[in-house]
Structure formats: C-alpha cells, structure tokens
C-alpha cells in the first residue's frame, strides 16, 4: 500500500478548516489567552520544576471521560491546538478533548534523542530519554489522577518537537494511541533518525501507534529531503501504518496550524468518532 496522501476533504471539513485558520489569524493579533489550569510538577527525573498548562473542553465534567493531547513546545503550540480541537468538537468532527501544553526549560536537551547531538556540530547529546521517563512516570499519571481521562493519549510535536514525537513513538509505542509529527526535523545529524528506522526490522514496529506526518510544500530543501527519506523508509517497513501529507503552500511556521484540522479529523475517523477526511490506515498494534 502506497503511503497515504490526503485527498480532497468534504465540504464540511473545508469549512471547518477555514474557521480554524481564521481563528488562528485573529488570535495572532490578540493578547495570548490563558490556559484553564496551571500546574507545577516537581520532577525527580529531571531535577527541576516543570510548568504544565491544561486546556479543558467546554462543558468539562468529571462524570465524563476525555482523550488527552499532549503538546510539546507548550506555551505556544498548545493554545492554537486547543482552539482547533474546540472548534472541531463543536462540529462533532472530534470528541471533546483535554489539551496539555508542556513548556520548555531546556528545549534542545529534552527534545533531542540521546543518540543525536543537541546542536549541529556540537558535542553534547540529547537527553530525550530522561524527558520520556518524566512523561511516562510523572506527568501522565498526574494528569490521569486530576482529570477525567479516557486512557486515549496523543502526542503532538512540531519541528524538533516533531522529531522528538517520532522518537517517543518508536521508544514507547504503548504510551500513545496516536502521534502527530508536524514539520519533523528528520534532516538532523545526517538524517540519523531515518537511518535508525531503516536498520530496524518490520517486526520491531508491531506496537507502533497511529502516525501522522506532515510537511509544508514551502519548507526548505533539507526539511523536504529528510521528510521524503523517512516516508520512503516507512513505506518499506510499515506500509499502511502511517499517513504522510504534504500541505500545499504551507511553510515551516504555519504548517502545524494548517495541518492540525485535517490531522485530528483523520485520527477521529480512524478511531471511529465520525471524522470526514479519508486517511484511515489500520493499526493492528492498538
């Protein structure tokens, strides 16, 4: 099966996307809104206090259960994602969802896999493994203890965050139902992540969560080359188990916002929540 490329969405999905993009354009001109709840998590793993931003769906009730979307680079991406989710839930495209933003303290340390360098030409490796332990053993249990969660967990990352989200999906696939990698920096370290995937056997991906990868058609050449290389390798290793999308006329700055409505609707359809877009790869591991 060739890698899935999103076809033309139905009319309602197009209207929804336009509404979302209009909101994003307006919100960029306004003062940044506040999250519904702020938490300080004292992390034993990272030896520091981490601020966490929680966006609750309208009409949130402890008597119901909600999926949770964890958004890397919190403090920026999570606000727009929460708005997208809210609009899509109002149109019954996705279920009401809790969105959790994870702001950075040391971005290059936490969002770089341990087998890659934090900076091009640098000497320090990333500590993304420790950050993943923080997510699994400290953050996720804390959110589950304080909010009415359904057990469905999604991870969203953009750029270096997209690279990290992909790493997390490979390292701890059982943690996530779906992982969204927007403009992932697969070019880093001479495409080290692509090489790592290429060396794995197809059986190593049996528990791989539902993957959605997107890149803007206006992004630079190194981003395009890394993305294309990863799609080729994934097609060889896990055909039909991912969705790879090129977002027309999107660049590195706005690809996440333009991709998010279709990405979330595609996941909702796969999950059986009544989405209107087409991409529905099977996932025998979930």
Question: What would the pLDDT profile of 99-112 be if each residue is shown by its tens digit?
Answer: 999 999 999 999 99
Residue 122's CB: how many other CB atoms inside 10 A?
10
In degrees and rounded to multiples of 5, residue 144 shows phi and psi of -65, -30
Q: What is the mean pLDDT of residues 243-250?
A: 95
Please give the full DSSP string across the chain, using - where no structure is assigned. Answer: -PPB---PPPHHHHHHHHHHHHHHHHHHTSPPPPPSEEEEEEETTTTEEEEEEEEPPTT--TTS-EEEEEEESTTTHHHHHHHHHHHHHHTTSS---EEEEE--SSHHHHTS-TTSBSSTT-SPBP-HHHHHHHIIIIIHHHHHHHS-EEEEEEEEEETHHHHHHHHHHHH-GGG-SEEEEES--TTHHHHHHHHHHHHS-GGGGTTPPEEEEEEETTS-HHHHHHHHHHHHHHHHHSTTSEEEEEETT--TTTHHHHHHHHHHHHHHHHHTS---S------TT-
- Structure confidence at residue 286 (pLDDT): 32
pTM of the model: 0.86
Residue 223 to residue 8: CA distance in whole angstroms: 24
Given the structure tokens 């996705």, which residue do they identify?
94
Q: Which of 83, 98, 89, 70 is nearest to 20 (CA)?
A: 83
Mean pLDDT rounded to a whole number for the chain = 86
Q: What is the pLDDT of residues 38-97, one digit of tens each?
A: 999 999 999 999 999 999 999 999 999 999 999 999 998 999 899 999 999 988 889 999
Whether 186 contacts 230, CB under 8 Å: yes
- Structure confidence at residue 33 (pLDDT): 67
Q: In the chain, what are the domains? A: 11-271 (3.40.50.1820)
Residue 178 to residue 168: CA distance in whole angstroms: 11
Residue 254 half-sphere exposure toward CB, CA atoms < 13 A: 14
Q: What is the pLDDT of residues 184-218, one digit of tens each?
A: 999 999 999 999 999 999 888 989 999 999 999 99
């Amino acid at each position: 099966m060739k890698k899935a490329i999103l076809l033309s969405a139905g009319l309602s999905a197009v209207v929804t996307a336009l509404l979302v993009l209009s909101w994003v354009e307006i919100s960029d001109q306004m003062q940044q809104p506040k999250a519904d709840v702020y938490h300080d998590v004292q992390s034993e793993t990272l030896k520091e206090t981490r601020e966490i931003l929680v966006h609750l769906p309208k009409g949130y009730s402890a008597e119901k259960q909600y999926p949770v979307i964890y958004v890397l680079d919190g403090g920026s991406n999570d606000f727009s994602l929460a708005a997208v989710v809210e609009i899509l839930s109002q149109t019954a495209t996705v279920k009401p969802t809790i969105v959790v933003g994870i702001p950075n303290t040391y971005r290059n340390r936490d969002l770089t896999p341990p087998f890659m360098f934090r900076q091009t030409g640098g000497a320090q490796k990333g500590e993304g493994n420790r950050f993943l332990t923080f997510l699994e053993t400290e953050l996720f249990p804390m959110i589950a203890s304080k909010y009415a969660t359904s057990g469905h967990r999604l991870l969203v990352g953009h750029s270096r965050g997209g690279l990290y989200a992909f790493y997390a999906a490979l390292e701890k696939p059982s943690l996530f139902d779906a992982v969204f990698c927007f403009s992932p920096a697969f070019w880093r370290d001479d495409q080290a992540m692509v090489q790592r995937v290429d060396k794995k056997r197809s059986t190593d991906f049996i528990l791989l969560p539902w993957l959605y990868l997107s890149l803007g058609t206006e992004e630079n050449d190194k981003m395009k080359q890394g993305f294309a290389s990863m799609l080729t390798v994934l097609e060889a290793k896990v055909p039909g188990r991912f969705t790879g999308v090129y977002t027309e006329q999107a660049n590195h700055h706005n690809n996440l916002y333009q991709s998010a409505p279709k990405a979330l609707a595609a996941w909702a359809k796969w999950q059986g929540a009544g989405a209107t877009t087409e991409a529905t790869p099977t996932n025998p591991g979930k």
